[in-house]
Amino acid sequence: MKIIHCADIHLDSALSTNMSSMQASERRKELLNTWVKMVEYGADNGVRVIIIAGDWFDTSNIFVNTADIIAGTIRKYSNMDFVYLPGNHDERACIGMLGKHKNLMVLDKECNSVRYDDVVIAAYGKKLQLKNEDVNIVVAHEELSDVKLLAGKNIDYLALGHIHKHMEGVIDQRGMWCYSGCLEARGFDESGEQGFVLLEVTEGRIIHTFVPFGYRHVHDITVDVVYESEESGMDTILLCDKIADRLVSIPGKDMVKVRIKGAMTPGDVINVSYINSYFKDKFYGFRIEDGTDMILDIDMLSRERSLKGEFIRAVLASDETDDMKRSIIRCGLSALIGEVTE
Ligand SMILES: [Mn+2]
């Protein structure tokens, strides 16, 4: 018996943080399309059940067009069951919009379950009671606080949602826990491969395989500012080349987050907004973060009889935290030496 475990699909997400409204609308369709493709994959591979471990929907009020597509997949694949445990985003109103289907089962924390011969799929809850002789798949949508609490409960596979990244670990000698992660990344913080987990139950044992499935991925890249030599220093064009070297194998349809790290001295110019405009058309999404530190001898600078010295003395005498003082000094010195900070 084959089962798909997916979670955190977040259909109809607003996606307004990183995207224009047109791009967000396109991406919402992609999320929906990836759902349909996953169901088709299930049908092509003889999957009997699709478990959705929460956050199928991002909102309590999905678009009618979305409900139409979801209900359509449930109706079309009537010999496949859709076992759904609502998460913390989606509400039961969405289920109402899908209509009634014999092959759509909604679990809740009062611990109802679905049985297929000796395979049981149950919601995690206080009343959870599992038989030793069954193959027990438990569904939950939460952050695991203490795995030890799950030990000895006859769990074979804990199908988790809530953390948007594929992760897995051991419960006890018998069972394991697994977050499937999202099907598709929705923002720059959802980096890495996204997809679902395919379970195969044979002779009382579960074999699980993570299947990367997202159409677009987020790549999280750190680029160190390294000087070729003392004389050459660092400039924005040189840094763009260094970043480009790291991005060469990333397809343009993906999203990229680049963080620049390293130590800068006052006077080194790195124009973050230029780097952003240079790369932004090369990928579906691009974000640059300046994580560089400025090497400052604040003690020495504060004794200077100059505008810089005066400025630093004023900041040091303020009530700000040390981190904030450093940040103000860094920003102020950049302005004083003529860097444009945008
Ligand atoms: Mn979620």
Nearest CA-CA partner of 188 in 258, 251, 88, 262? 258
Ligand 1 centroid distance, CA of 256 (Å): 21
Distance from the alpha carbon of residue 212 to the mean position of ligand 1, in angstroms:
18
Determine the distance separating the centroid of ligand 1 and the alpha carbon of 161, expressed in angstroms.
7
Q: And the tokens for 16?
A: 């307004």
Q: What is the pLDDT of residues 115-134, one digit of tens each?
A: 999 999 999 988 889 999 99
- Tell how far the Cα of 187 is from the centroid of ligand 1, in angstroms: 12
- Ligand 1 centroid – CA 153 distance (Å): 26
Q: Is the pLDDT of residue 149 over 60?
A: yes
Return the pLDDT at 266.
63
**CA–CA dist 35, 12 (Å, integer):** 12
Q: How much distance in Å is there from the Cα of 179 to the middle of ligand 1?
A: 11
- Going by C-alpha positions, the residue among 96, 113, 102, 97 that lies closest to residue 80 is 102
**Ligand 1 centroid – CA 174 distance (Å):** 27
In which order are the strands placed within the sheet that holds 218-224? 218-224, 255-264, 285-294
Q: Each residue of 277-331: pLDDT tens digit?
A: 999 999 999 999 988 877 777 777 788 888 888 888 999 999 999 888 888 887 8
As given in the structure block, the two tokens for residue 235 are 């400039």
Q: What is the pLDDT of residues 72-88, one digit of tens each?
A: 999 999 999 999 999 87
Question: How close is the Cα of 141 to the center of ligand 1, in Å?
Answer: 8
Ligand 1 mean position to 278 CA, how many Å? 33
Give the pLDDT of residue 302.
82
Alpha carbon of 16 to ligand 1 centroid (Å): 16
Ligand 1 centroid to residue 105 C-alpha, Å: 20
Measured in angstroms, how far is the CA atom of residue 38 from the centroid of ligand 1?
18
- Ligand 1 centre distance from Cα of residue 337 (Å): 46
Give pTM, 2 decimals.
Answer: 0.84
Is residue 287 within 8 A of residue 18, CB to CB? The reply is yes
Task: Output the CA 51–ligand 1 centroid distance in Å.
Answer: 15
94 CA from centroid of ligand 1 (Å): 15
Instruction: Give yes or no for residue 339 having a pLDDT over 60.
Output: no
CA of 6 to the centre of ligand 1 (A): 11
